[in-house]
Amino acid sequence: MSAGCSRRAPLRVSTLYPGSTHYFEDYFDRNGHELRTMMAMMHWNELKKDEMDGIRVVTGTRSHYNNTLRKHVLKNVKSTARNAWRDAVKDAAYQIRASLSFTPYATVKQEQDKQRTQRDQWNRNATPLVPLPGDANLEETDDEDDHP
């Protein structure tokens, strides 16, 4: 950023690669992002709930180097979480999936099968059952003409 008007300064600053947001805009849809965010929030809330209920307790400490403080700091190591919410979400998803009369994958597979059968039908109709007399694949010999 250069010195000058601070209101327009962010407009002059761009990413090193202009297409860097293209990947996230095109390959990660909005609904998926919202679902992942909700799942992360549920996970975080369940971890905190387990800590408050006394299920997830501190079992020890771990040392690691903190670059900001430039020294080793201790971090609490806690027991594993129950993650019961994952089973509840999985069971609900299975029930919803089982109640559907068709799935998106099955629909795509049916369309592919339909296209395949149509292509096979076209090939059967375009291929003659009996070779034509002028077919280049027929080999004529002199012996065939001698017989009455």
- Condensed to tens digits (0 to 9), the pLDDT of residues 49-72 reads 999 999 999 999 999 999 999 999
- Average pLDDT of the residues of the chain: 80
In whole angstroms, give the CA distance from residue 36 to residue 31: 9
What global pTM score does this model have? Answer: 0.49
Element (H, E) at 66: strand 58-66
Worst-scoring range by mean pLDDT, 14-18, 89-93, 103-107?
14-18
User: Is a pLDDT exceeding 60 seen at residue 118?
Assistant: yes
**DSSP secondary structure letters along 107-128:** HHHHHHHHHHHHHHHHHHHHS-
Is pLDDT at 144 greater than 80 in this prediction?
no
pLDDT score, position 82: 87
Q: Helix, strand, coil shares of the chain as percentages rounded to 5?
A: 55, 10, 35
Asked if pLDDT for residue 115 goes beyond 90, the answer is yes
Largest CA distance in the chain: 107
